[in-house]
Chain A
Amino acid sequence: MTVFNPRISFDAAPWRLSGVVYGTLLNDRAAMAAIGEAANQPPYKAAPKAPVLYVKPRNTLSNSGAAVEVPSDAGEFEIGAALGLVFGRTACRVSEADAIAHLAGYTLVADFSVPHDSFYRPSVRFKARDGSCVFGQRVVACERITSPDTLALRVSVDGQVVHTASNASMQRSVARLIAEVADFMTLRAGDVLLLGVAAGAPRARAGQRFVIESDAPELGRIEGSLVSEVKSQERAA
């Protein structure tokens, strides 16, 4: 059964998530480097200048412990481990220096995608699958995560570490990303912006279990299982 609301409340304003979640594509320098010269060729024609964002809509939202359905047309799901920036107050036109003051804190997010090689079109069919955005168990105040920009994230599948990455490889830091995004769209209390998924995100199949952890124990972990998609009609939320 797919869960449609992140059940996270926490001990600081705004006390709970709004359900609005934006992801950031290709913030990792290594992910951009992997595209190489193709970034200058059609259809892209140039590397992106502004942050490239996507929406994880409400049907994607789920919580640690969930059984994540792997789409039957995909076979595999890519497990994108990301630091979630949880807004504590409205962020509109904020400077880089003031950006982090707009956060309530951080949470871990597992952003599942159907693997895709082309980033030309918005790829909603690959990014907006039911239950494909799994939230960690808690939101941790900014003061307790002193180095979000060097945080290491680790993905395990069936008990084996299959991917490690550090936010140190992000092109835009937490503060820089907030400043650039809040210049053209307002983020409100309870909204979440994902800093970005590192290059080489691992893939897994139905029947496997996953765990996402960081080197900040306060953030806890996300765990869950991957299961085959249920092709039922009109299931209730």
Chain B
Amino acid sequence: MKTARIAYGGALHDATPHADGVRLADGRVVAETDVVWLPPFEVGTIIALGLNYADHVKELSKELTVTSKDEPLVFLKGPGALIGHRGFTRRPNDTTFMHYECELAVVIGATAKNVTRADAMKHVAGYTACNDYAIRDYLENWYRPNLRVKNRDTCTVLGPWFVDAADVPDPHALGLRTLVNGKVTQHGNTANMINDIPALIEYLSSFMTLQAGDVILTGTPDGVVNVNIGDEVITEIDGIGRLVNTIVGDAVFGR
């Protein structure tokens, strides 16, 4: 089953896919562009992975002092960064390199502490697509990637759908890609994660209790390129969703 959280007609609704757009729980069918899409579940702790695809590590290798054999590179984000499908993401005017990151988002469904790899997948409620932007101009080598790069308002996009784990027989065999203005700029497959989902749950739950609603953004493959004001960026994961986002400039924010 796929579900979304949307705003329509002055209220929040749960919605499901329909041939003519989305179907609200109360029976109304509305065009996809006539609703406001929110992140598709109540988001708890946001846990993100850096450098979790071998090809992306290679892409960035010139500036790295680590290898893929190191401990998973984990960072946390706050709720202010989140927006939903068909939202707008701000690109500051002083930026020279801002890039998308298409990522499979794994949503925790049951409390997990000291979970073994073998038991890990039982703690997954489902999945959604994520576009986790980074603005590399602001990178500093202190708790890198620092929050000024990765925790900016509007820069973490989730949706459109929350997809039940039962409907995703193998989350490690999903094609994923990014299109900028219709042109494919990034493609990969979740099979190429360095630390797969059970490994991540085992690692994270070894030192922190994961709770229902926590989400793990599992990293991005290579192919990240700069985006500019006006670009339409679509991050798409087979069987999970096609997440649309548009880049806007400072003027929209009165800056």
Give the B-binding residues of A (Cβ under 8 A). Answer: 2, 4, 20, 22, 25-26, 42-46, 48-55, 57-60, 71, 92-93, 119-125, 128-130, 184-188, 191, 231-237
B73 near A121 with CB under 8 A, answer yes
Interface residues of chain A: helix, strand, loop or mixed (majority)? loop
**Bound Cα distance from A44 to B73, whole angstroms:** 17
6 residue pairs of the A-B complex, CB under 8 angstroms, read: A52-B140, A54-B143, A57-B76, A59-B210, A121-B144, A234-B111
8 nearest A-B pairs in the assembled complex, by CB-CB distance:
A55-B76, A57-B45, A122-B75, A53-B147, A52-B142, A124-B74, A48-B142, A122-B143
B80 near A188 with CB under 8 A, answer yes
**Bound Cα distance from A93 to B80, whole angstroms:** 14
Q: Answer whether residue B21 sits at the interface, using C-beta atoms and an 8 A cutoff.
A: no
Other A-B contacts than A55-B77, A234-B115, 10 sampled, CB-CB below 8 A, are A50-B146, A120-B144, A125-B74, A129-B208, A130-B113, A184-B151, A232-B113, A234-B110, A234-B111, A235-B209
Chain A residue nearest to B138 (CB atoms) is A50
B141 near A43 with CB under 8 A, answer yes
Chain A residue nearest to B140 (CB atoms) is A48
Residues in B whose Cβ lies below 8 Å from that of A232? 113-114
**Bound Cα distance from A48 to B152, whole angstroms:** 18
A234 near B81 with CB under 8 A, answer no
A185 near B142 with CB under 8 A, answer no
**Bound Cα distance from A52 to B138, whole angstroms:** 11
B143 near A123 with CB under 8 A, answer yes
Residues in A whose Cβ lies below 8 Å from that of B73? 121-122
Residues in A whose Cβ lies below 8 Å from that of B79? 20
Residues in A whose Cβ lies below 8 Å from that of B140? 46, 48-50, 52
CB distance from A81 to the nearest CB of B (A): 20
Q: Tell me which of A52, A124, A234 contacts B146 (CB under 8 A).
A: A52
A53 near B146 with CB under 8 A, answer yes
Residues in B whose Cβ lies below 8 Å from that of A22? 78, 147
Give the contact-size bracket for chain B: 35 or more
A130 near B209 with CB under 8 A, answer yes
B207 near A125 with CB under 8 A, answer yes
List B192-222 residues whose CB lies under 8 Å from chain A.
207-211
Residues in B whose Cβ lies below 8 Å from that of A48? 140, 142, 146
Residues in A whose Cβ lies below 8 Å from that of B211? 4, 58-59, 237
List B7-65 residues whose CB lies under 8 Å from chain A.
44-45, 47, 65
Q: Answer whether residue B112 sits at the interface, using C-beta atoms and an 8 A cutoff.
A: yes
Residues in B whose Cβ lies below 8 Å from that of A93? 255
Residues in B whose Cβ lies below 8 Å from that of A125? 71, 74, 207
Q: Tell me which of B75, B152, B208 contacts A185 (CB under 8 A).
A: B152
Q: Which of B65, B144, B207, B210 has the most chain A CB atoms inside 10 A of its CB?
A: B207
Chain A residue nearest to B254 (CB atoms) is A93
CB distance from B115 to the nearest CB of A (A): 7
CB distance from A125 to the nearest CB of B (A): 5
List B69-125 residues whose CB lies under 8 Å from chain A.
71, 73-81, 110-115
**Bound Cα distance from A236 to B210, whole angstroms:** 10
